Structure 1
């Protein structure tokens, strides 16, 4: 699959775990994405504040759902909450190339060398490097990059990949179920498994 163009879209998006879970459950009951789209418009099933936000949530979450092979849905329904959150994180990585690169190049490297904290400077260095590599990223404002970095930290925290309970951002190596590891490998996503578990 060709790599998607870098985007700052995550500044508008959230982790949306409960929304992802609801959509997977509705599909498991036989609802199509079109059915869920209509339910969302008619019933506001995601409790969005405005119709525009409801559509935005559906579009983002359905894109994440479609990015994964259906075998992930089976694993999702059989997993504990910790692994379900990791599956949502994987879906976000699949739909956002820049965030994927951050997890692979920064988070993974921290796991490999045993550094226990994610610092703001890690984000700054990552974005500066990407500005050198990408004309598109080079045009983004400092405000956009700061907001994007905040979004990355929030997503990783909600996924259980970093912990802020003691003030700093402690990196937590995810413990993936064997079924999820197997699903990643079988779908040609070993690089994603390595990114999350700190493997060279």
Structure 2
């Protein structure tokens, strides 16, 4: 699994599950990324509020899909909605190394020790550690870090991995479909399997 440079891009991103699913469906039917981009521009297929937002959604979702490669399309499309949401979460993790680290270092560890919840303090400790490890993260403003934390919580909630508690959030360990788990393992994404399954 490729580790990318840490990025605060997620402050502008959403989980975009429906958009991800629709784009995978179009690509699996033989459309090119360029053709999907044109549909975004001419037909606003992602129901974006502005053309700029449509372009941002397309670019981010396409980046997530390209990071997985096209061999996941049939595995994704035959899964139920809850499995597809976890697959989308895996694509977000593969595309955003800092978010992956959060799930791996915080959520996975919580599941390993048998804790079924995480608190705002867990996010604060995670970001403080990253600021010590990375000059880039150390240069981000408190507002950027706070927004990243909010979006990370939203990603996990929309994937079905947590509830929407105001402070403390319950963690729901996902059941990975065997085909999805096998695909992730076969495609150098074993760390994502461990992060989602809560195993060492």
- TM-score, structure 2 as length reference: 0.97
Matched residues in 2 for 1:170 and 1:68: separation?
28
Structure 1 residues not aligned, in runs of 5+: none
Matched residues in 1 for 2:77 and 2:103: separation?
25
| Secondary structure in structure 1 of the residue aligned to 2:156 | helix
Matched residues in 1 for 2:164 and 2:52: separation?
32
Show the counterpart of 1:49: 49
Show the counterpart of 1:130: 130
Q: Using the TM superposition, give the Cα deviation of residue 166 of structure 1 relative to its aligned residue in structure 2, in angstroms.
A: 8.6
Show the counterpart of 2:105: 105
Q: Using the TM superposition, give the Cα deviation of residue 18 of structure 1 relative to its aligned residue in structure 2, in angstroms.
A: 0.4
Moved more, 64-73 or 105-114: 64-73
**1:145-192 deviations in Å (ceiling 9; x for gaps):** 111000000000000111126974100000011001110111121111
- TM-score, structure 1 as length reference: 0.97
Give the total of aligned pairs. 200
CA RMSD of aligned residues (A): 1.2
Matched residues in 2 for 1:28 and 1:70: separation?
8
Show the counterpart of 1:3: 3
What are the equivalent positions in structure 2 for 1:47-126 lying under 5 Å apart? 47-126=47-126
Given that residues 69 and 187 in structure 1 are in contact (C-alpha distance below 8 angstroms), is that contact kept between their aligned partners in structure 2? no
Moved more, 166-175 or 155-164: 166-175
Closer, same or farther: CA 96–166 of 1 in aligned 2, 3 Å:
closer
Structure 2 residues not aligned, in runs of 5+: none
| Secondary structure in structure 1 of the residue aligned to 2:47 | coil
Matched residues in 1 for 2:185 and 2:88: separation?
17
**1:87-119 deviations in Å (ceiling 9; x for gaps):** 100000011010010011001000000111110
